[in-house]
Amino acid sequence: MKCLQRQPEMSRSQELQRNAQSQKVVNMNVKLLGMEGDPDLQFLLQGGDLLKVRSSSWKKTRYYRLQEDCKTMWHESKKTFRTKQTFSLDDISALRMGRQSEGLRKNTEEQVDGRCFSIIFKSRRKNLDLIASSEEEAKQWVNSLQKMVSSINNLSSQQKAEHWIISCLAKADKNKDEKLSLSEMKNFLRLINIEVDDEYAEIVFKKCDTSNSGYLSGKEIEHFYDLLTHREEIDVIYGEYAKTTGFMSPDNLVEFLMKEQREKTTLADAHKIIEKHEPDEKAKEKKLLTKDGLLMYLHHQDTLVLNPDHKDVYQDMSHPLNHYFISSSHNTYLMEDQLKGPSSTEAYVRALLKSCRCVELDCWDGSDDEPVIYHGYTLTSKILFKDVIKAIKEYAFKTSDYPVILSLENHCSVEQQEVMARHMSSILGSALVTSPLGEGMPTDFPSPEDLKGKILIKGKRLNKLEASFAAEAAAADATDVTEEEESNDEDEQKEEEKKKKLKLAKELSDMVIYCKSVHFHSFEDARKNQSFYEMSSFKEGKAENLAEESANAYIHHNVDKLSRIYPAGTRTDSSNYNPVPLWNAGCQIVALNFQTSCMDMDVNQGRFLINGKSGYILKPAYMRDTATEFDPITLTRGDWLKHKTLHVMVISAQQLPKVNNKKSSIVDPVVKVEVYGVPADVAEKETKNIENNGFNPTWNESFQFDVYVPELALVRFVVEDYDSTSDNEFVGQYTLPFNSLKLGYRHVPLLNKNGDLLPSAGLFVHIMVVDAE
């Protein structure tokens, strides 16, 4: 039975021509990367066999090599109809040498450790676990891939755009003759997310086809590229300030920076900018900035919409721990939903690398006296407690040096609690805080600075911390304490029924120093009876009610104590709630499902984007003051009221990705600008949609927002694919604190739904903030 058509074989000359064209594309990309003659790049282009590991029984040899775009890895697949046999180097989050992934530890023997490596992806894609034929070869693969990922990440936005367009042109040139026919040009436009009608396509084609040959080649393709990437808005800005014989002089640049960008700058700064960003050597010699130079400057990391001064740790980190918002995760072990999704140590690694500083461990008795972590009474898979502690030990401080809190939800027998305590003690060692810092009984929390590199345990404790300082502190036996099952309480009645007595092992109890879990009765009761280190967890509904009805009392409570908020047990799909109203009430540990991509996680990422991505953001002074009258709902007069008017002009977008890979699918982009903060500041405005253009749409639409409490406000830019009959589809977004906005003409990078950077995509906006009258 003949079911698969074979491709017609090429003649020898056709094959040679195709190979030469392929090599030409490789050479262009190699040059753009500045990696001519690099042995690591040549190794990847040549490729080789690796053993792919999926399970203990599924280990198969596959051939891997880098494609001609120097950015995409191809691998053979034995599946007949498998089309997507590639992954982009942009999608690689990390490379790990040895048996470092959960899969390799489970499915391989220790003796192959040196030959193993894993490719970890940014999205939810599974890790790629591989075994090379020798240790040297494994190192070569890891080093070569790391070098390529680093080279691509270090490209400027302009270079990334060029790299991408070169690759798309190569894909569109189906017969590899280095010429573009009209149909190939249309194919290319679809690849880069533009749909044009036939008439317009022919006009553009004829304009570029100066030789009247019926196809574009050489200089004609360059002209077509220039027409395509021409940005009229940059012409307008440049024309306004290029007053020195059509170029920008250092004086003109100073005027632009001070007047438009609202930057304090000097002539010396202008000279440095020209020296660094001007690509034309002749212009650079004459100390002039061309239009390309201005565009290169506006694309630079430090001139984007986020204030570069806020990228590093810039806040005072010496306040008590409870004076900070703390990036926090719920059900950290889950990769997906709460009913049957997989549990994985990889989920902890991902959260910690995203600078999450409070992770949750649901602990249950396991077989062989080894406690396990999973979502109780569900079909979620189980992982060993000790494996989670090992992963935390290794990844806790890779992104941030500041303390990590382990929130224990403990359902274990006394015997297995003792095992938990032993594992934490032996694996975490001196990083684990097992007694108060300093001499004597503390009266307040230590600061994030004091706790750098330290791990705190949040959980039940048999007695007050003060008791450990009493002379007669006896070795208490395991005693009953009340344990609330945080993740499953559907309503108050069930919650009361579910409270149960839990025998608590002294070894585990003694490890709880600054985060002792206690039940919340009322703010008055907490004020009278709770010590500073005793903290309550609130499910979202209860916390939202308190934040709305008793906001000032909640803020006062959080001036002295820590509060943890967690999603309702009814969120079986691991969806999230809006964290903003709870931050407005001063709650520090607002725990979200990091495994779920959604607007709430975008806002969380935006809140913790600044301050060195440390996972700690200092609360405003009026939320740390014991006498504060701040109430986010009523907004009476006070230091917090700094009424500003935010003006945003959405000018254009560049290189938006398709939302699905169908060749015919072209984005119809619409931009939304959203403000989050106190209720008075919450607002949303949106542009009209642009049909069939995701490559270089232009809006030039202006919006105005009133912002009353800027210190708590966040601004979110969202791009969606407009649909008149159903919900718009998400394309990309970027969220940042209002006080971290840079003014003037700014590029806004865009993140995908997983919070990772879209390599070439962005918005171009103009921002102005003025004091309201």
* Range 83-88, long-range pairs (CB < 8 A, 24+ positions): 87/121, 87/125, 87/128
Which has the closest alpha carbon to 459: 497, 415, 527, 505? 505
According to the annotation, is 115 in a ligand binding site?
no
Distances (CA, A) of 662 to 204, 240, 523, 710: 24, 41, 56, 42
**59 labelled binding-site residue:** yes
Q: Amino acid letter at 110?
A: E
The answer on whether 668 is annotated among ligand-binding residues is yes
665 annotated to bind ligand: no
Is position 533 annotated in a ligand binding site?
no
Helix/strand/coil for 515: strand
Find out whether 173 is annotated in a ligand binding site: no
> What distance in Å separates the CA atoms of residue 416 and residue 410, rounded to the nearest whole number?
10
Q: Of the residues 330, 411, 556, 557, which is catalytic?
A: 330
List 693's β-bridge partners, or say none.
194
Kindly provide the b/e burial profile for residues 579-590, where b requires at least 16 CB atoms within 10 angstroms of the residue's own CB. Answer: bbbbbbbbbbbb
Distance (Å, whole) CA 516 – CA 251: 61
Q: Is 310 a catalytic residue?
A: no
Q: Tell me if 575 sits within 8 A of 601, measured CB to CB.
A: no
**Rounded CA separation 65/75 (Å):** 7
* Parallel/antiparallel/unpaired status of strands 455-459 and 683-686: unpaired
Q: In what helix (H) or strand (E) does residue 401 lie, and over which residues does it extend?
A: none
Distances (CA, A) of 273 to 277, 294, 330, 433: 6, 9, 45, 48
375 catalytic? Reply is yes
CA distance 84 to 69: 16
| 245 marked ligand binding residue | no
Known binder of ligand: residue 153? no
- Rounded to whole angstroms, how far apart are CA atoms 546 and 548? 5
Q: Is 681 annotated as a binding residue?
A: no
Kindly tell me the sign of the dihedral angle through the C-alpha atoms of 139, 145, 149, 151. Answer: positive
Structure tokens at 773: 């009258």
740 DSSP assignment: G
168 labeled binding residue: no
140 is in an annotated binding site: no
- Is 458 labelled as part of a ligand binding site? yes
**Residue 773, marked binder:** no
- Alpha-carbon distances, residue 385 vs 261, 359, 367, 417, 589 (angstroms): 52, 13, 12, 11, 23
**60 marked as binding residue:** yes
108 is in an annotated binding site: no
E strand or H helix at 621: none
| 74 is an annotated ligand-binding site residue | yes
Is 237 labelled a binding residue? no
Tell me whether residue 402 is annotated as binding: no
d(CA 294, CA 305): 16
259 is in an annotated binding site: no
CA dist., res. 701 & res. 189, Å (int): 26
Catalytic residue among 375, 423, 556, 557: 375
Q: Is residue 727 a known part of a binding site?
A: no
- Rounded to 5 degrees, φ, ψ at 457 are -105, 130
State yes or no: 450 annotated in a binding site.
Answer: no
Q: Is 171 annotated as a binding residue?
A: no
| β-pair type (683-686, 616-618) | unpaired
Query: 219 a known binding residue?
Result: no
Q: Is 548 annotated as a binding residue?
A: no
CB distance 594 to 350 below 8 Å: yes
200 among the known binding-site residues? no
Q: Is 62 annotated as belonging to a binding site?
A: yes
Catalogue the active-site residues.
330, 375
Q: Binding site, residues?
A: 52-79, 331, 360, 362, 409, 458, 460, 537, 564, 666, 668, 692, 721-723
Instruction: Tell me the binding residues for Ca(2+).
Output: 331, 360, 362, 409, 666, 668, 692, 721-723
Q: Which residues are annotated as a binding site for substrate?
A: 52-79, 458, 460, 537, 564
